[in-house]
A and B are shown apart, each in its own frame.
Chain A
Amino acid sequence: MAATSALATTRIRFRRDAARLTEGQAKDVRGAYAGMIGLRESDERSYARFASLHGLPLPIECQHDSPLFLPWHRAFLFFFERAMRDRVLDATLPWWNWATPPGQIGSIPAAFADEQAAGAANPLFSAKVSERALANGEEVGLPAPGPSTFRRAGIGGRRLPRAQEVADLVEISDYPTFQRRLEELHGQVHVWTGGHMGQVPWAGFDPVFWAHHAMVDRLWRLWQIRHNAPGPPPELWGQALPPFPMTVARTLDVTLLGYDYASSTSSTPVS
Chain B
Amino acid sequence: MERFVSDPLTVAPPAAGFAWSAAELIVYGVDHLGPSYEVRVFLDAPAADAVTPLELEAGYAGCFTVFGHGGCFGDDDHCDPGDRFSDEYDVRLPHQSLPQSKVVDVTAALRAATGDAVTVTLVAVEPDESGGPRPSDAFEADEIRLVTYAGAGDVDASGA
Q: Contact residues of A with B, CB < 8 Å?
A: 56-58, 60, 63-66, 68, 136-137, 140, 142, 152, 155-158, 180, 184, 186-188, 190-191, 194, 198-202, 242
Residue of B nearest to A176 (CB): B103
Contact of B93 among A58, A63, A155, A157 (CB under 8 A): A63
* Contact yes or no, A191 B73, CB < 8 A: no
* Contact yes or no, B72 A140, CB < 8 A: yes
Residues of B within 8 A of A60 (CB): 69, 73, 96
Which residues of B37-85 are within 8 A (CB) of A?
37-38, 64-74, 78
Assuming the A-B contacts A56-B73, A140-B71, A157-B133, are A188 and B103 also in contact, with contact meaning beta carbons closer than 8 angstroms in the complex? no
A158 to B134, CA, bound (A): 12
A58 to B75, CA, bound (A): 11
Contact of B69 among A136, A156, A158, A200 (CB under 8 A): A200
Assuming the A-B contacts A199-B70, A201-B70, are A157 and B132 also in contact, with contact meaning beta carbons closer than 8 angstroms in the complex? yes
* Contact yes or no, A152 B127, CB < 8 A: yes
A235 to chain B, nearest CB (A): 14
Contact of A190 among B67, B100, B102 (CB under 8 A): B67
* Contact yes or no, B65 A156, CB < 8 A: no
* Contact yes or no, B132 A184, CB < 8 A: no
Interface centre among A57, A64, A157, A187 (most CB of B within 10 A): A157
* Contact yes or no, A191 B65, CB < 8 A: yes
Query: A187-B66, A191-B127 provided; 7 other pairs, C-beta below 8 A?
Result: A56-B73, A156-B128, A156-B132, A157-B131, A190-B65, A199-B35, A199-B36
Interface size counted on chain B using CB atoms at 8 A: 33
Q: Is B126 part of the contact surface with A, judged by Cβ < 8 Å? A: yes
* Contact yes or no, B70 A142, CB < 8 A: yes
Residue of A nearest to B50 (CB): A157
Residues of A within 8 A of B126 (CB): 156
Which residues of B5-39 are within 8 A (CB) of A?
32, 35-38
Listed by A's residue number, 6 A-B pairs whose Cβ atoms lie within 8 Å are A57-B73, A60-B96, A186-B67, A198-B36, A201-B69, A202-B70
A64 to B68, CA, bound (A): 10
Q: Is B125 part of the contact surface with A, judged by Cβ < 8 Å? A: yes
Residue of B nearest to A183 (CB): B67
Q: Is B94 part of the contact surface with A, judged by Cβ < 8 Å? A: yes
Contact of B127 among A57, A140, A156, A184 (CB under 8 A): A156
* Contact yes or no, B131 A156, CB < 8 A: yes
Contact of B64 among A68, A157, A184, A194 (CB under 8 A): A184
A179 to B35, CA, bound (A): 23
Residues of A within 8 A of B72 (CB): 140
* Contact yes or no, A200 B103, CB < 8 A: no
Contact of A184 among B65, B78, B93 (CB under 8 A): B65
